[in-house]
Amino acid sequence: LSDSTDKARVLIVFYSRDGSTEALANAIADGARDEGADVRVRRVRELVSAETMALAPGWAASAERMNALFPAPTSEDAIWSEAVCMGSPSRFGSPSSEIRAWVETLGSLWVRKQLLDKVGSAFGSVSSPHGGLETTILGLYPTMMHLGLIIVPQGYGHAASMRAGTPYGVGAVSGGGKRLPPTEDDLDIARHQGARVAKAAIATRQLRPGA
Ligand SMILES: Cc1cc2nc3c(=O)[nH]c(=O)nc-3n(C[C@H](O)[C@H](O)[C@H](O)COP(=O)(O)O)c2cc1C
C-alpha cells in the first residue's frame, strides 16, 4: 500500500492510439490529484499486429510515445488502488480488445474479492458524435459490477454537462481522420470526474476495513 494512506489511491487504465483517450486520462488524473489523490496512469499494450498498426500514419509512433510515458498496468496496480478508472476508444461501439484483455487478467483478484467495494468509473472516445460513445463507456461497467466496484458515473454535476460528456462518463469526439483533441469542456468534465472519483474513494473507505 501507499505510504500516504490518507490520500485516495486512484488507478487510471486506458488504451489510445491517436491520443484522445490519453488526453482524457491525463485530465482525470489532474482532477484526482487536485483532490489530493495519489494517481497511477497506465496504458494497456497493443494486441493487433504491426501490419495493423502500420495501416494508419502515426499509430506506431504514437504507441511508442505513450508506452514510454505510461507503464503497462499490473495486478499490483489494481490491488494498490482504491478506485479504478478505465478508458477506451470505441471499437465498433464497444470497448477495445486491448482494455478487455487487461480486464481479463483480473480473474484471480476477483476470486479473492480484492477489488470488492473499490470505486469504478469509465470514459471513452469516438470519431463521430453518434458513433457509440455511450455504448463504449457502458460496455466497461458490467465488468466493473462483476468485480464488485462501486460505480461512480459522471452525472450532470459539472456546468458543461449539458453540452459535452455523457452522464455515464466523460468522452470526446475526435472527428475521425481529423484527430481532434478533446475540447476544453471535455477536459473540464474529465477533471471533474477525476475529482469525484477521488472523493468517492475516500468516502467509501468504511466499506473496505483493513484495506
Ligand atoms: C477498428 C476500429 C473501430 C472503430 N469503431 C468506431 C466506432 O464504432 N465509432 C466511432 O465513432 N469511432 C470508431 N473508431 C474510431 C476511434 O474510436 C476514434 O477515432 C477514437 O477517438 C480514437 O481514440 P484515441 O485517440 O484515444 O485512439 C474505430 C476505430 C478503429 C480502429
The pLDDT tens digits for 95-112 are 999 999 999 999 999 999
State whether residue 152 is helix, strand or coil.
coil
Residue 11 alpha carbon to ligand 1 centre in Å: 23
**190-202 pLDDT tens trace:** 999 999 999 999 9
Residue 104 alpha carbon to ligand 1 centre in Å: 21
Compute the average pLDDT of residues 153-159.
95
**85-144 pLDDT tens trace:** 999 999 999 999 999 999 999 999 999 999 999 999 999 999 999 999 999 999 999 999
Predicted confidence (pLDDT) at residue 152 exceeds the cutoff of 90:
yes
Cα separation, 125 vs 180, whole angstroms: 11
The minimum-distance atom of ligand 1 relative to the CA of 172 is 21
pLDDT category of residue 2 using cuts at 50, 70 and 90:
very low
State if residue 7 touches ligand 1 by the CB under 6 angstroms criterion: no
The residue assigned the cell 488526453 is 23
pLDDT category of residue 210 using cuts at 50, 70 and 90:
confident
Residue 132 alpha carbon to ligand 1 centre in Å: 9
Predicted confidence (pLDDT) at residue 1 exceeds the cutoff of 80:
no
pLDDT category of residue 177 using cuts at 50, 70 and 90:
confident
- pTM, full prediction: 0.97
State if residue 174 touches ligand 1 by the CB under 6 angstroms criterion: yes
Q: Is 211 exposed, middle or buried (0-12, 13-18, 19+ CB in 10 A)?
A: middle
Residue 65 alpha carbon to ligand 1 centre in Å: 19
Q: What is the pLDDT of residue 58?
A: 95
In total, the chain counts a number of residues equal to 211
Compute the average pLDDT of residues 163-187.
96
State if residue 136 touches ligand 1 by the CB under 6 angstroms criterion: no
Q: What is the pLDDT of residue 209?
A: 83
Residues 49-80: b if buried by 16+ CB within 10 A, e if exposed: eeeebeeeeebbebbeebeeebeebeeebbbe
Q: Which of 113, 16, 130 is nearest to 62 (CA)?
A: 16
Residue 50 alpha carbon to ligand 1 centre in Å: 18
State if residue 186 touches ligand 1 by the CB under 6 angstroms criterion: no
